[in-house]
Structure 1
Amino acid sequence: MKHIILAAVSGLAIAVASAQAQAAPVGQATPADNASQGAATSSADDERPGGLEDIIVTAQRTEETAQKAPLAIAVIKPEELIRQNVTRAEDLSRVVPALVATASGGPNTTFFLRGVGNTTNNSYSDPAISFNYDGVYIGRPNSTQGFFYDLQRIEVLKGPQGTLYGRNATGGAINVIPQRPEVGVNSGEFQASYGNYEAVQAQGAVNLAIGDTGAFRLSGAYVKHDGYLSDGTGDQDQKSVRAQVLAELTPNLTTRIGADFSHQGGVGPGSFIYGTFAFSPPVAGYVFTPTPQLGPKVGVHDPRTEAFVQTRFIPGAGRFSEPVNSYPSSDNSVWGVTNETNWVTGAGKLTVQAAYRESFIHSLSTTSNFRGFRQDEGNDQTTIEARLAGKAGPVDYLIGAFLFDENIDSKAAINQLTVLPIQTYKTGTNSKAVFGKLGLHVGDGLTLTAAGRYTDDTKFMNGVSDVYTLSCGNPMLPPAQDLCPAVPLIPLVFTAADVRAFYAARGILVGTNGVQPPPVVNGARVLNSRVVIDSTLETKKFTYRLAADWQFTPANLLYASYETGFHGGGFNFGKGLETYKPETIEAYTIGSKNRFFGNRLQFNVEAFYWKYKDQQIAQFGTDFSTPPISVFYTSNIGRSVIKGADVDLDFLLTPTTRIGGSVQYLDTEYKSYTVTASVMGPVPNFDTNACQITRTTIYTIDCSGASALFSPKWSFNVNAEQTIRLDGFKLVAQGGTRWRGDFFAATSYQPWVISKAVFQSDASLTLAPESDDWFVAAFVNNIEDKRRITQSNVNATLGTQSAIATAPRTYGIRIGGRF
Structure 2
Amino acid sequence: MRGREGCAREWGIFVITKYRIVGSASVSILALMAAACPAMAAAEDVPAAVPMPAAVAPEPDTSEAAPPEIVVTAERTNVTLQKTNLSVTAVTADTLAKSNITEITGLNGAVPGLVVAKSGGGERQISIRGIGSETPENPQTQPGVSVHVDGVYIFNSIAANAAFIDVAQVEVLRGPQGTMYGQGSTGGTINIVSKQPELGKWTGNVDAGYGNYNLVKTDGALNVPIGDTIAIRGAIQYYNHDGYAKATKVAGQPDYQLDNANDLGGKLSLKWQPADNVSLLLSTIQYRGDANAPAQKNILDPEPDPRVLTQDYPGKSYIRTQLYYGVLKFDMGPVVFNSITGYQKLRSIQSWDGDGLDTDLFYALTNGQAPGAGVKYDHIATWTQNTESWTQEYNLASNTDGRLRWIVGGVYLHSTNNSYINEFRSNEGNGLNAALPVSAAYNDPLVKTITYAELSAVTREAYAGYAQGTYKLTDRLSFTAGIRYNHDTYSGVSASQSGPTSSNTSGAYLQPKPGVGTSTNRVTGKAALNYDITGTSMVYASYTRGFKPGGINSSAAVGNSSYTIFGFKDGTKPTFKPEELDSFEIGSKNRFFNNTLQLNASGFFYLYHNMQFLEEDAVLFGNGVSNAPEAQVLGAEIEADWHPTRHLRFEGSLSLLHSEFTSDYYALDPTKARNAQIAAGYAGVGGFYSNFYLATLAREAARVNINGNKLPKMPTVQGSVAASWTGEVGPGEFTARAQYIYRGGYNSRVFADPVADKTPNYSQVNLFANYDFANSGFHASVTVTNLFDEAGVNSRFTDPYGSGQVSNTYIPPRQAIFSLGYRF
Structure-1-length-normalised TM-score: 0.80
Partner of 1:665: 656
Rounded to whole Å, the distance in 1 between the matches of 2:314 and 2:241 is 18
SS in structure 1 of the partner of residue 713 of structure 2: coil
Moved more, 666-675 or 451-460: 666-675
Once superposed, what is the RMSD of the aligned Cα atoms? 2.7
Which residue among 407, 411, 415 is the counterpart of 2:424? Answer: 415
Summarize the Cα distance change of 1:294–1:799 in structure 2 as closer, same or farther, 3 Å threshold: farther
Q: Which residue of 2 aligns with 1:283?
A: none
Structure 2 residue corresponding to 1:83, chosen from 75, 98, 123: 98
8 Å CA contact retained: 2:245, 2:309: yes
Residues 353-405 of structure 1: CA deviation (Å, up to 9, x unaligned) = 11110111122123653632211221101000011110563111100000010
Instruction: Say which of 803, 807, 822 aligns to 1:817.
Output: 822
Separation in structure 2 between the aligned mates of residue 669 and residue 678 of structure 1, nearest angstrom: 18
Structure 1 residues 93, 442: closer, same or farther in 2, change over 3 A? Answer: same
2:112 touches 2:653 (CA, 8 Å); kept in 1?
A: yes
3-state secondary structure, aligned to 2:789: coil
1:328 paired residue number: 315
Residues 716 and 461 (structure 1), Cα distance of their counterparts in 2 relative to 1, 3 Å cut: same
Equivalence for 1:337? 324
Greater share of strand? 1
Contact 1:204–1:219 at 8 Å: present in 2 too? Answer: yes
Deviation at 1:259, TM superposition (A): 0.8
**Is the 1:97–1:662 contact (alpha carbons within 8 Å) kept by the matching residues of 2?**
yes
Other structure's SS at 2:613 match: strand
Partner of 1:388: 396
Residue aligning to 2:540: 559
Which residue identity does 1:591 align to in structure 2? G
Residue in 1 aligned with 2:626?
Answer: 635
- SS of the equivalent of 1:682 reads helix
Question: For 1:401-427, what per-residue CA distance to the aligned partner results, in whole angstroms no more than 9, with x for missing partners?
Answer: 000100011211123567621111100
Offset, 1:788: 2.1
Gaps of 5+ in 1: 1-29, 276-290, 302-324, 470-509, 516-527, 686-692
Q: State how 1:448-527 maps to structure 2 within 5 Å.
A: 448-469=479-500, 510=501, 512=503
Shift in Å, 1:163: 0.3
Q: Tell me: CA distance 1:799–1:462, structure 2 relative to 1, closer, same or farther (3 Å).
A: closer
**Aligned equivalents of 1:402, 1:148: Cα separation in 2:** 25
**In structure 2, distance between residues paired with 1:113 and 1:571:** 25
- SS of 1:751's equivalent in the other structure is coil
Cα offset, 1:331, TM superposition? 1.9
Are 1:694 and 1:700, in contact at CA under 8 Å, matched by a contact in 2?
no
User: Aligned pair in 2 of structure 1 residues 800, 613: CA closer, same or farther (>3 Å)?
Assistant: closer
Per-residue CA deviations over 1:685-736 (Å, capped at 9, x if unaligned) read 9xxxxxxx99797654311101111111010110110013122222111110
Q: Which amino acid aligns with 1:751?
A: P
Larger displacement relative to structure 2 (790-799 or 383-392)? 790-799
Distance 2:59 2:630 in 1: 45
- Distance in 2 between residues matched to 1:675 and 1:341, nearest whole Å: 51
8 Å Cα contact 1:88/1:146 also seen in 2: yes
Match of 2:810 in 1: 805
Give the 5 Å matches for 1:211-222. 211-222=227-238
Asked if the contact 1:42–1:55 (Cα under 8 Å) also holds between the matched residues in 2, the reply is no
* Alpha-carbon distance between aligned partners in 2 of 1:405 and 1:610, rounded to the nearest angstrom: 31
Is 1:770 matched up with 2:774?
Answer: yes
Partner in structure 2 of residue 322 of structure 1: none
* Structure 1 counterpart of 2:264: 239
| SS in structure 1 of the partner of residue 246 of structure 2 | coil
Is 1:579–2:575 an aligned residue pair? Answer: yes
The alpha carbon displacement at 1:299 in A equals: 2.2
Displacement of 1:649 in angstroms is 1.0
Note if contact 2:404-2:472 (Cα within 8 Å) is conserved in structure 1. yes
Where in structure 2 are the equivalents of 1:162-177 lying within 5 Å? 162-177=178-193
Q: Give the SS at the match of 2:161.
A: coil
**Cα displacement string for residues 599-628 of structure 1 (whole angstroms, at most 9, x for unaligned residues):** 100010100001011111235x2453xxx1
Which residue in the other structure is 2:116 paired with? Answer: 101
Task: Verify: 1:209 aligned to 2:225, yes or no.
Answer: yes
Q: Which runs of 5+ in 2 are unaligned?
A: 13-40, 44-57, 248-256, 357-377, 427-448, 562-571, 678-695
Which residue does the alignment assign to 1:197?
A: 213
One-letter code aligned to 1:808: P
Amino acid at match of 1:422: A
The reply to whether residue 757 of structure 1 matches residue 761 of structure 2 is yes
CA distance in 1, matches of 2:188, 2:9: 18
Query: What is the deviation of 1:793?
Result: 3.2
Corresponding residue of 1:600: 596
Shift of 1:579: 2.0
Distance 2:153 2:218 in 1: 27
Counterpart-to-counterpart distance in 2, 1:700 and 1:103: 26
696 and 103 in structure 1: CA distance in 2 versus 1, 3 angstrom threshold: closer
Q: Does residue 309 of structure 2 align to residue 256 of structure 1?
A: no
| Aligned positions of 1:340-359 closer than 5 A | 340-359=327-346
C-alpha deviations, 1:325-377, integer Å up to 9, x for none?
52111222100210100001134111111111011112212365363221122
Instruction: Determine which of 305, 309, 314 is the counterpart of 1:299.
Output: 309
Distance in 2 of aligned mates of 1:799 and 1:147: 30
**Does the CA-based 8 Å contact 2:772-2:778 persist in structure 1?**
yes
Q: CA deviation at 1:54?
A: 1.2
1:705 equivalent in alignment to 2:708: yes
Check conservation: 2:93, 2:168, Cα contact below 8 A: yes
Compared CA separation, residues 772 and 444, structure 1 to 2 (3 A): farther
Partner of 1:738: 741
Distance in 2 (CA, whole Å) between partners of 1:658 and 1:592 is: 22
Matched to 2:813, the amino acid is P
1:356-435 correspondence to structure 2 within 5 Å: 356-366=343-353, 368-369=355-356, 371-391=379-399, 393-415=402-424, 420-435=451-466
1:267 to 284, 292, 295: 292
Q: 1:134 to 1:815 in 2, by over 3 A?
A: same
Q: Secondary structure at the match of 2:314?
A: coil
Aligned residues: 686
Specify the code of the residue in structure 1 equivalent to 2:186.
Answer: T
C-alpha distance in 2 between matches for 1:292 and 1:696: 29
**Which of 724, 729, 733 does residue 727 from structure 2 map onto?**
724
- Per the alignment, in what secondary structure is the counterpart of residue 140 of structure 2? coil
Letter in 2 for 1:139: F
Q: Secondary structure at the match of 1:94?
A: coil
The offset of 1:53, in angstroms, is: 1.7
Partner Cα distance (1:571, 1:773) in 2: 56
Q: TM-score, normalised by structure 2?
A: 0.79
Residue among 580, 596, 611 paired with 1:615: 611
Contact 2:354 2:805 in 1 (8 A): no
1:807 counterpart SS class:
coil
Q: 3-state SS of the aligned residue for 2:258?
A: coil
CA distance in 1, matches of 2:355, 2:96: 30
Evaluate the alpha carbon distance shift between residue 794 and residue 65 of structure 1 in structure 2; reply closer, same or farther with a 3 A threshold.
Answer: closer
Q: 1:674 aligns with which of 655, 665, 675?
A: 665
Per the alignment, residue 19 of structure 2 pairs with none
Shift of 1:630: 6.8
1:788 matched residue in structure 2: 792
Match of 1:153 in 2: 169
In structure 2, the CA distance between the partners of 1:107 and 1:42, relative to structure 1 (3 Å rule), is farther
1:123-143 per-residue CA deviation (whole Å, 9 max, x = no partner) reads 222111011112111111111
What is the letter of the counterpart of residue 327 of structure 2? E
Give the whole-Å Cα distance in 2 for the aligned partners of 1:587 and 1:567.
Answer: 14
Q: State how far apart, in whole Å, the 1-side matches of 2:208 and 2:622 are.
A: 46
Q: Could you tell me which of 59, 67, 71 is aligned with 1:56?
A: 71
- 1:494: which partner in 2? none
Quickly say closer, same or farther: Cα 1:110–1:562, change in 2 above 3 A: same
Q: Which of residues 645, 652, 655 is equivalent to 2:643? A: 652
Is the contact between residue 355 and residue 383 of structure 1 (CA under 8 Å) also seen in structure 2?
yes
Contact 1:46 1:599 in 2 (8 A): no
